[in-house]
Amino acid sequence: MAINLNFKSIITVIVAALAVFSIFHFSIDRNDINFEKIVKSVVIIKTKPTRSSAFNDKHIGSGVIISDDGYIATNLHVISGIQNFVVETNEGISLDANLIGFDKRSDLAILKVTNENELNLNSIVFAKKKSISIGDKVYAIGDPFGLGLTVTSGIVSANNRNTGNPYLELIQTDAAVNPGNSGGALINEHGELVGITSKIFSTTGSFSGISFALPVDKLSDIASEIIKFGLAKKASLGNFSIRSIRILHNNQLKYCGEIVNYSSGPILDLFETHERLCILKINEEPMSLDRLRLVLGNAFPGDEISLTLLDDKGELHSYQIKTESI
């Protein structure tokens, strides 16, 4: 009986120790992020009440304060078609905001509050670029279904997801995201912004375990250009024209876009070693003018475009060409 008693005592001690460890571990995790502070950097975007009715404001999405002087990032689809809107802080303070600019490629819009001097705004801290990895813990903060700012948690399920534009390199997460979360914050375990919640994958319109966020890497670059220029610059391969021709290659008749009238930009470098070049593939897809326009329309300055080229000797060459801005 003594042995049994000792054994039970040991088990009791171990269970108690594990319980204490779990509480201690949870408290450490919980204290790593000051959620009360972080939610002050996220706002609710609402339609502005009209004179006819002071009660017809409607929650349309979320936004993130990215600078102390009142710039707010959100999704373009959140404010699309809305003429007048206000942003509401977690303290319930409503602020008028103006649209500074937007970028359709990334579904990003930048607003600026007009009365930022009336209170101290709490801008969010950006995480370092390329700092998020698969399996990392993340938290989504937004206004789902207009219920008010809400925090949900999950992990990074995948990086560099392509949902139509490969150059966006979206973050995929399983943190619960629903209508109203769009434009809200995705933060890491240090309370730093890693992305802007942009869309969900669902057949019902509600959360089904897959959501996507624009990574802070793209957000930072695009937002800076919108704030400075009112829009984000477009990508270019330089000044050149395409002449559509058909060629016989490997006993197959293929469409080819011959590069002509080239005068500047990254494309010009190709002709240091070649006299004549024809584009067969763009990003591993068959060449067409529509394809070229689509790829350049989706890309951002500094992104690389893959070209498969045929020279005048019938030899194939593959190049990764970094785009420039226009």
Dihedral sign, CA of 61, 64, 69, 71?
negative
pLDDT band at 83 (very low <50, low <70, confident <90, very high): confident
Q: Are residues 254 and 318 in the same domain?
A: yes
pLDDT band at 251 (very low <50, low <70, confident <90, very high): confident
Domain contains 214: yes
Tell me the per-residue pLDDT of 103-125, one tens digit each, with 9 for 90 and over.
999 999 999 998 766 678 899 99
Per-residue DSSP letters for 242-272?
A: EEEEEEEETTEEEEEEEEEEEEESGGGGGGG
Per-residue DSSP letters for 237-249?
A: --EEEEEEEEEEE
Known catalytic membership, residue 77: yes
Q: Does the structure show a pLDDT above 80 at 11?
A: no
Known catalytic membership, residue 182: yes
Known catalytic membership, residue 274: no
Tell me the per-residue pLDDT of 218-243, one tens digit each, with 9 for 90 and over.
999 999 999 999 999 999 999 999 99
- Which residue range is the domain that position 180 belongs to? 137-228
- Rounded to whole angstroms, the Cα distance separating 277 from 257 reads 9
Q: Are residues 221 and 269 in the same domain?
A: no
Q: Are residues 78 and 51 in the same domain?
A: yes
pLDDT band at 46 (very low <50, low <70, confident <90, very high): very high
Set 103, 107, 143, 174: catalytic member:
107
- Rounded to whole angstroms, the Cα distance separating 253 from 104 reads 37
Per-residue DSSP letters for 159-191?
A: EEE-SS-GGG-EEEE-S---TT-TT-EEE-TTS
pLDDT of residue 204: 66
Domain end (from 228, 253, 287): 228
Q: Which two tokens stand for residue 208?
A: 């089904």
Of 68, 191, 173, 80, whose CA–CA distance to 125 is shortest?
191
Q: Which two tokens stand for residue 120?
A: 């101290």
Q: Are residues 206 and 256 in the same domain?
A: no
Specify the number of domains making up the chain: 3
Q: Does the structure show a pLDDT above 70 at 19?
A: no
Contacts of 268 (CB under 8 A, 6+ apart): 238, 240, 262
pLDDT of residue 16: 43
pLDDT of residue 6: 52
Domain contains 14: no
Domain contains 125: no
Report the chain's mean pLDDT, rounded to a whole number: 87
Bridge partners (DSSP) of residue 246 are 255
CB 193 within 8 A of CB 125: yes
pLDDT band at 138 (very low <50, low <70, confident <90, very high): very high
Question: Residue 133 gets which letter from DSSP?
Answer: -
CATH number of the domain within which 289 lies: 2.30.42.10
Domain contains 71: yes
Q: How confident is the model over 156-165, as a mean pLDDT?
A: 92
Q: Are residues 77 and 53 in the same domain?
A: yes
211's enclosing H/E stretch is: strand 211-215
Domain end (from 87, 118, 149): 118
Backbone angles phi, psi at 230, to 5 degrees: 90, -5
Domain end (from 197, 228, 259): 228
318's enclosing H/E stretch is: strand 316-322
Set 77, 249, 274, 317: catalytic member:
77
pLDDT band at 52 (very low <50, low <70, confident <90, very high): low
Q: Are residues 112 and 166 in the same domain?
A: no
Contacts of 193 (CB under 8 A, 6+ apart): 64, 66, 124, 125, 126, 127, 185, 186, 187, 216, 219
Q: Which two tokens stand for residue 92?
A: 């319930």
- Rounded to whole angstroms, the Cα distance separating 148 from 295 reads 39
Q: How confident is the model over 143-159, as a mean pLDDT?
A: 95
CATH number of the domain within which 207 lies: 2.40.10.10
Domain contains 13: no
Set 62, 106, 157, 182: catalytic member:
182
Q: What percent of the chain has pLDDT over 90?
A: 70
